[in-house]
Amino acid sequence: MPESSIVERLKSIGLTHDRSLEDIHVEDGKSIDLDPRNDRFQGHIERMTFNSIKDVKRAMGIPDEAVEKTDFQTRPQIPTRFALDDRLPLSRRIPPLVLTGAAAQDVQTTKRFYDISAEYVFGDSRRIDQRQIEAIDKWIKDIGIKISIFLFNDIFVGKGSTLNVQSAALFANHITVQKSGRIKFKSGTHSTVHAASFKGL
């Protein structure tokens, strides 16, 4: 199967990048912090604004077809009552959301938005009620979700070294991490790596 270039993968999520990409090499025992606020890495960043939960899944999520092939217990789940059968659609387990007024300011409602969004993006989106999707989309537009995506050609992380990523997404052609090397995301609960290959040595 032919390898997709990083330009093609970016295009698939609605981004174009016309600058040449550089390699990044973290020497043995060293660390590098990829921070969007650092001028050193401004040429390696694309910023993406999301208008819908579908956009978020396309850029950062797991395809529904891939979710079908994974074990249920390994997927991110929304806590439910133990008596409920998982075979029930999510829309039957969680009442549809109706976003009105200052609903997004309510802590409990906001948590439900995050929970359902995570199930959509990292689970099977077909299990989510359309009314919930409409409410989530409105919430996303209201709060203006944006992410910074770091872009590199090849990434090499040496022995005992760390690449700290202050972003939710990292794109590269090839990533190599030597023994005891680490790539550490510091952007929150969920992060995404897109690469044609990922090798551990």
Query: What is the chain's mean pLDDT, rounded?
Result: 80
Q: Which of 132, 129, 152 has the alpha carbon at shortest distance from 140?
A: 132
Tokens matching residue 191: 């992060």
Yes or no: say if 28 and 158 are a contact pair by the CB < 8 Å rule: yes
Q: Looking at residue 154, what is its pLDDT?
A: 95
Does residue 86 register a pLDDT over 50? no
Give the residue extent of every domain in the chain: 6-48+146-200, 51-143
Does residue 83 register a pLDDT over 50? no
**pLDDT band at 85, cuts 50/70/90?**
very low
**pLDDT band at 174, cuts 50/70/90?**
very high
Yes or no: say if 170 and 87 are a contact pair by the CB < 8 Å rule: no
H/E segment holding residue 6: helix 6-12
The arithmetic mean of pLDDT across residues 110-119, rounded, is 86
**pLDDT band at 25, cuts 50/70/90?**
very high
Kindly report the pTM of this predicted structure.
Answer: 0.71
**pLDDT band at 31, cuts 50/70/90?**
very high
- Cα 48 from Cα 194, distance rounded (Å): 15
Between 58 and 181, whose confidence is greater? Answer: 181
**pLDDT band at 33, cuts 50/70/90?**
very high
Yes or no: say if 57 and 192 are a contact pair by the CB < 8 Å rule: no
Amino acid sitting at position 201:
L
Between 132 and 102, whose confidence is greater? Answer: 132
Does residue 94 register a pLDDT over 80? no
162-165 and 146-151 beta bridge pairing: unpaired
Q: Looking at residue 2, what is its pLDDT?
A: 56
Tokens matching residue 124: 């099977």
Q: How many CA atoms lie within 13 A of 69 on its CB side?
A: 4
For the CA atoms of 110, 111, 113, 114, the dihedral, rounded to the nearest 10 degrees, stands at 120
